[in-house]
A = this chain, B = another copy of it.
Amino acid sequence: MSLFKQTTLIGIGLIGSSISRAIKENHLSEKIFVYSRTKKTIQRAKKLNLGNFYTSDLKESVKGSDLIIICSPLSTYGNILKVISNIIMPGAILTDVGSAKLNVIKAFSKLRNINFNILPAHPIAGTEKSGPDAGYSKLFNKRWCVITPMGKNDNKSLIKLKKLWNKFGSKVKIMNAEKHDKILAITSHVPHLISYSIVSSTLNANNKEKSEIIKFSAGGLRDFTRIAASNQEMWKDIFLDNKKNLLKVTKEFEKSLNLLKKYIKNNNQKKLEEIFLKTKKVRKLIEKEKQE
């Protein structure tokens, strides 16, 4: 018997289509209902055989589902909740995969008289690719999935959702949304903002320079361009949703940058080497965590 009877995926991009593939591979839901805003994406999802039913009618997509996963950009949640909250089956699980959680919880909190379980989640996995073709079933393997429970939930639903992510190969961490957003600002949102900034600053180069920048990008820039190729709609939303933490952590980064600049201006070799030795240790800790 499958863990779920019918799963609705609202959005079938990189994450949604990876979930679909992982569900199918592990037989975790009897049926999958795929919703997308655009006909084009629906057609692509059909071709890729990502579900059993396909629709661009939100209401239809959630009817009878015991698991509903929102996999669309954060700015779409408001409308989605308005449309689906009265249709979701009693006892069902409503979850999501959004990268910022405090605003998500605020949006969910506005729902009244609900008799289903709300379990916001965030799988810390992804690539710079987007769209239904970009997904793959092992995307979540050995990665963390953070769940930030809220409101009243029966304990069974949390156990079921954890099981789903464990079956995908993920480790699950329960955390409050506030903390999640603070940590993720450091580990993901500011790194993305900085990557967008550095790649964007190369756009002002003239054409000849640009071609040389591309040629010699292997020395470091290349890694930033990968991050700065992430989906524009999704990241615009994350930055705006987690604005407060983002700007605060960016300020910390700027302090560090200014300090390094000062030491460089003053030829302070000792201080520079000291700092670089410390940053090297962070890498060692990450390698120990075996996330590489």
What is A's interface to B at a CB cutoff of 8 Å? Answer: 75, 99, 124-126, 128, 143-144, 146, 173, 179, 183-184, 186-205, 209, 212-230, 232-233, 235-236, 239-240, 243, 246-247, 249-250, 252-257, 259-261, 264-265, 267, 269, 272-273, 275-280, 282-286, 289, 291-292
Contact indicator B286/A183 (Cβ below 8 Å): no
Chain B nearest CB: distance from A213 CB in Å?
6
Contact indicator A225/B282 (Cβ below 8 Å): yes
Contact indicator B240/A267 (Cβ below 8 Å): yes
| Interface secondary structure of A, over-half rule | helix
Contact indicator A225/B283 (Cβ below 8 Å): yes
Contact indicator B260/A196 (Cβ below 8 Å): yes
Given the known inter-chain contacts A239-B264, A264-B246, please indicate yes or no for A196 contacting B276, CB distance below 8 A: yes
CA distance A188 to B189 in the complex (A): 22
Contacting residue for A216 out of B184, B217, B246, CB 8 A? B184
Contact indicator A216/B187 (Cβ below 8 Å): yes
Point out which of A186, A236, A256, A279 has the most chain B C-beta atoms below 10 A from its C-beta: A279
Contact indicator A219/B184 (Cβ below 8 Å): yes
Q: Which residues of B contact A179 (CB under 8 A)?
A: 212
Chain B nearest CB: distance from A177 CB in Å?
14
Contact indicator A291/B205 (Cβ below 8 Å): no
Chain B nearest CB: distance from A268 CB in Å?
9
Q: Which residues of B contact A246 (CB under 8 A)?
A: 264
Given the known inter-chain contacts A197-B253, A218-B144, A253-B201, please indicate yes or no for A213 contacting B186, CB distance below 8 A: yes
Contact indicator B192/A220 (Cβ below 8 Å): yes
Contact indicator A243/B214 (Cβ below 8 Å): no
